[in-house]
Amino acid sequence: MLRTPTGGAGSGTATAGDRLVSIGTVLSQLRDEFPEVTISKIRFLEAEGLVEPRRTASGYRKFSPQDVERLARILRMQRDHYLPLKVIREHLDALERGEPIKLPAPGAGVTCSTVPGSRTRRTRRPSRGSAGPN
């Protein structure tokens, strides 16, 4: 009996007829558009439940073309719209239900801690040679 290891396998084990790829191949496919993506990042997104690759009988992750596209969509939402994972999950769930989603304009989610025209308050650090109060 084949068992699916825990950790987001979702739809079960991979079979020989599937066009599935390893996590290393996924990384290679995503690196052109997302040069800073890592295997750890892909595993993290899986742990957060945003992607559910299949698993082989020995537990290796195998990603479908749909999984790879979903990862690319997640990474774009993070990069272009600065969305947190919770919001990304909500958008992906809405897309799966066939609902339209509206993303903020690229960069619109960025906030700055200072208001244009205001002064930035800086604190001074004591210099290395100065003695502090006793």
**Mean pLDDT for back-to-back runs of 10 residues, the chain (134 residues):** 41 61 97 97 97 97 97 97 95 94 75 42 48 54
Task: Report the pLDDT value the prediction gives residue 106, as an integer from 0 to 100.
Answer: 80
Cβ proximity of 54 and 9 under 8 Å? yes
Indicate whether 134 belongs to any domain. no
Indicate whether 1 belongs to any domain. no
Q: Which two tokens stand for residue 80?
A: 């272009």
Q: Which domain holds residue 75?
A: 23-96
CA pair distance 40, 37, nearest whole angstrom: 8
Number of domains into which the chain is organized: 1
Q: Which two tokens stand for residue 45?
A: 């997104």
Indicate whether 104 belongs to any domain. no
Task: Report the pLDDT value the prediction gives residue 112, as an integer from 0 to 100.
Answer: 41
Residue 63's CB: how many other CB atoms inside 10 A?
25
Task: Report the pLDDT value the prediction gives residue 129, as an integer from 0 to 100.
Answer: 54
Indicate whether 75 belongs to any domain. yes
Produce one character per residue of 118-133: b if its CB has 16 or more CB atoms within 10 Å, e if not. Answer: eeeeeeeeeeeeeeee
Q: Give the SS3 label for residue 121.
A: coil
Indicate whether 48 belongs to any domain. yes
Distances (CA, A) of 67 to 29, 63, 110, 115: 12, 6, 28, 41
Task: Tell me the CATH number at 41.
Answer: 1.10.1660.10
Task: Report the pLDDT value the prediction gives residue 7, as an integer from 0 to 100.
Answer: 42
